[in-house]
Amino acid sequence: MSKPNPPERQPRRVINESGIEIQPLYTAADVAASGGEDMIGRPGEYPFTRGIHPLMYRKQPWTMRQYTGFGNAADTNRRFHYLIANGQTGLNVAFDLPTQCGLDSDDPQAEGEVGRVGMAVDTLRDFEIAFEGIDLDRITVSLTINGAAAILIAMYLAMAEKRGYDLSKLRGTAQNDILKEFVGRGTWVYPVAPSIRLVGDTIEYCAQHAPKYSPVSVCGYHIRESGADPAQEMAFAFCIARAYADEVIGRGLAVDEFAGRLSFNFNIAGNLFEQVAKFRAGRSLWAKIMKEQYGATQPGSMWIRMIAGGGGSGLTFEQPELNIVRGAYYALISALSGAQTMALCCYDEAYTIPSEYAQRISLRTMQLLIEEMGLTDTVDPLGGSYYVETLTNQMRARMEEIMREVDAGGGIVRLIADGTIQDRVSAQAYQRQRDIEAGTFRKVGVNCYRIDERPPEMEFHPYREQDAAAQVRALGEVRASRDALQVERTLARVRAEARSGSNLMPAILEAVKAYASVGEITAELVGVFGRYQEPVALRDRPLAAAGG
């Protein structure tokens, strides 16, 4: 007797994180139906979907810039030199929580946090130690700092000038994206309006005095980490970048005077094709915005210059060795996406500050793609795929839809100031965690393919109280040796110009050069601007209705 045939397996419905349904097969008809090929173009030409340079990595591979910083400036300097010796081509500096929040190491609120999750910085002296022996013409530096960004940009410029570098030729980047801090990480200091003013001050000052320095890296990365989907990550970042552009254009700067130095920091975690399409779509959409909405004429003003790194939220404490594999795929996505700079999370970042060993693995992963995998041989190798081109058009349309919703709701500044964006992404983050716990969002090693054995032994980065005490002593020594009257005069100027509405960068630079501390300068600005108080918005309120 024959056995009955098993029931036919029905194909499951697939919807990506951005809400786009994925078909089992794509053809040229799908490309045409999604918008056609008009926005593909050629690499190095508008709208830059295929890359901002004609030869991309064929001419120069991506910059490798691992996120690094811990303890004091001397500890961090040693790690910098280790990474450079192993082939790293850029630095991405992590600062401790007190520095990020504008507190000095001897502030009572800083207790227990000095040097814990990044490098402690109090005065210009810390910058002098941190970058000792590093050629700033050869190794560009990115400062991951936001609430205290104007002060630390001033310290970097003052340090470079003191060492004899020409500021008109100095390259580097600061994150300095305060609007995303209100959405995501939370290292704000001042209310929204003066915070945007400070971002505008840095853009305006650098356009005039350090034109090759990038004073802002708009950071969709942390918005995604906070719960946004990939399309929202790009759309919200573009809305924020427009807000900064509007601020400086309102001061009289032409778009081509500053737009070429805006940069972006984006997240890579999840579906390979969704991520690649996200970046290809975002590149052409940003070019369209700058050309059609802002009247940019220089190609560089229309570029997305971006660092793309593995999303920390994609890493797992469970079976942490799998994070090495995830990191390799994140690097592959970054290369296929046309990022200018790559930074990979290390496998141990799910639970600690990366060890030298873990950072070397991530660095070697990026180098392996250059030397062995053929990722630098041709430009946009996925271009022309029916699937990728269709998904690129769909992702671009989804981003434009989100941006229209933001504009209809009163604009990104208003929606962040009243907490609407924060509420949206936090609700999504909560739902994602519920989906992981329920197993509907699959995570290998977490809710599928688990193992019951004991977790492996893990080495945690030690927090040494004696190092924090040494940092406090060093700050005391600087205060004892500096010219107290000069510090007092420069701080008075900061306070006066905060009140007057003048660009604050010249006054902050003068204070930094006098070895005024991060906390002292911040206190003067808080005295004028006040501190930000986080709002609580109405859950699930539609963006377009928020303005009412």
Predicted confidence band of residue 548 (pLDDT cuts 50, 70, 90):
very low
Q: Are 360 and 327 in contact (CB under 8 A)?
A: no
Question: Which residues does 143 contact at the CB level (< 8 Å), separation at least 6?
Answer: 93, 95, 149, 152, 153, 156, 172, 173, 174, 175, 176
In a domain, 89, yes or no: no
What pLDDT is recorded for position 546? 45
What pLDDT is recorded for position 185? 86
In a domain, 339, yes or no: yes
- Which residue stretches of 298-355 are H helix? 299-302, 322-337
How many secondary structure helices (H) and strands (E) does the chain include? 22, 12
The pairing of beta strand 90-94 with beta strand 67-68: parallel
Q: What is the dihedral of CA 516, 517, 520, 523, to 10 degrees?
A: 130
Q: Are 464 and 265 in contact (CB under 8 A)?
A: no
Q: Are 516 and 490 in contact (CB under 8 A)?
A: yes
CA pair distance 89, 148, nearest whole angstrom: 26
3-class SS of residue 494:
helix
**What is the phi/psi pair of residue 123, to 5°?**
-140, 175
- Give the residues across from 15 on adjacent strands: 21
3-class SS of residue 142:
strand
Encode pLDDT of 315-327 as tens digits: 998 898 999 999 9
Q: Are 395 and 231 in contact (CB under 8 A)?
A: yes
Encode pLDDT of 507-535 as tens digits: 999 999 999 999 999 999 999 999 998 87
Encode pLDDT of 232-258 as tens digits: 999 999 999 999 999 999 999 999 999
3-class SS of residue 462:
coil
Q: Both tokens of residue 442?
A: 């699959």
Encode pLDDT of 446-502 as tens digits: 999 998 877 667 777 778 888 899 999 999 999 999 999 999 999 999 999 999 999
Domain enclosing residue 269, as ranges: 27-59+175-438
Q: Both tokens of residue 397?
A: 């349309």
Closest CA to 471 of 521, 518, 526: 518
Give the relative orientation of helices 230-249 and 192-209 as an angle to the nearest 10 degrees: 70
Predicted confidence band of residue 5 (pLDDT cuts 50, 70, 90):
low
Give the residue carrying structure tokens 């005490």: 469
In a domain, 65, yes or no: no
End-to-end CA distance of the chain: 71
In a domain, 20, yes or no: no
CB atoms within 10 A of CB 143: 26
CB atoms within 10 A of CB 542: 11
In a domain, 83, yes or no: no
In a domain, 313, yes or no: yes
In a domain, 34, yes or no: yes
Q: Are 69 and 116 in contact (CB under 8 A)?
A: no
Question: Which residues does 269 contact at the CB level (< 8 Å), separation at least 6?
Answer: 224, 275, 310, 311, 313, 314, 326, 330
Residue 110 gets which letter from DSSP? Answer: G
Output the domain CATH number for residue 402: 3.20.20.240
What pLDDT is recorded for position 480? 98
Predicted confidence band of residue 7 (pLDDT cuts 50, 70, 90):
low
CA pair distance 401, 88, nearest whole angstrom: 39
Strands (E), 77-170: 90-94, 140-144
In a domain, 372, yes or no: yes
The number of folded domains in the chain is 1
Q: Are 241 and 264 in contact (CB under 8 A)?
A: yes
Encode pLDDT of 16-56 as tens digits: 999 999 999 999 999 999 999 999 999 999 999 999 999 99
